[in-house]
A = this chain, B = another copy of it.
């Protein structure tokens, strides 16, 4: 249940500091100090999040990240890169390699923690594959079924796809345009506002007789499934 974080960092002091703080934050932390050892360990088991130093003995963080991204099961593993200031100019390369986020040393622990939470929140659902659960809303892709507080909720095909897409990245805001592209498809010519109507219908049936609405309207931007919903 508690997220597992793997730290790959060769500096003793920093590794210790990170372990201490992240464990205090309630994470299950593991530290490896060499790139090549981390590579081996990652073949055995994937953590929920990887904290990767840029320069490492054995294999560099960049190379490690590149190898990782080549594995389909690690495709969505959140990776945060740590770099010293001098290496900063290469940050573009770092992100291109597939890191999800990027911190320049020295960084503040609260900031790191915030970023970890943000990435975990976003990554969580995708690894569960067929069942997405947020708060009291469950969506089962393979069974094409949605439940609210355990009770079945009947959705039309479009409403289902819409909810599925929104729930696939809880918290993330999608523009109407993006929703049209991802739910309806890119080749259709449909009015933006149609999205509003479907969101409205989705809400009506999903919230029937309930007060809390898991779908957040973001004025001027679009809609999001509230990842904090029910917490």
A220 CB to nearest chain B CB (Å): 4
**CB-defined A-B contacts under 8 Å, sample of 15:** A92-B100, A92-B126, A95-B122, A96-B125, A115-B131, A118-B131, A142-B173, A143-B171, A143-B224, A144-B173, A144-B218, A144-B221, A156-B220, A157-B219, A157-B220
Q: Is A39 an interface residue (CB 8 A)?
A: no
Contact of A111 among B108, B118, B133 (CB under 8 A): B133
Q: Is A87 an interface residue (CB 8 A)?
A: no
* Contact yes or no, A114 B133, CB < 8 A: yes
* Contact yes or no, B125 A95, CB < 8 A: yes
* Contact yes or no, A129 B110, CB < 8 A: no
Could you list 4 further interchain pairs (A-B, Cβ under 8 angstroms) beyond the known A76-B92, A108-B133, A114-B133? A114-B138, A142-B171, A144-B173, A152-B228
- Known contacts A145-B171, A172-B143; A118/B92 CB under 8 A: no
* Contact yes or no, B143 A115, CB < 8 A: no
Q: Which of A92, A143, A156, A171 has the largest number of chain B CB atoms within 10 A?
A: A143
Write the A187-231 contact mask toward B (1 if CB under 8 angstroms, else 0): 000000000000000000000000000000011110010011000
Q: Is A140 an interface residue (CB 8 A)?
A: yes
Q: Is A102 an interface residue (CB 8 A)?
A: yes
The complex places the Cα of A225 from the Cα of B115 at a distance, in Å, of 20
The complex places the Cα of A220 from the Cα of B219 at a distance, in Å, of 32
Shortest 10 CB-CB contacts between residues of A and residues of B: A157-B220, A111-B133, A95-B125, A143-B171, A144-B173, A114-B133, A118-B131, A144-B218, A142-B172, A115-B131
* Contact yes or no, B122 A96, CB < 8 A: yes
Residues from chain B with a CB closer than 8 A to the CB of A92 are: 76, 100, 122-123, 126
Quick one: closest B residue to A112, CB to CB?
Answer: B133
Contact of A110 among B118, B133, B218, B228 (CB under 8 A): B133
The complex places the Cα of A142 from the Cα of B108 at a distance, in Å, of 21
The complex places the Cα of A143 from the Cα of B218 at a distance, in Å, of 9
The complex places the Cα of A115 from the Cα of B139 at a distance, in Å, of 11
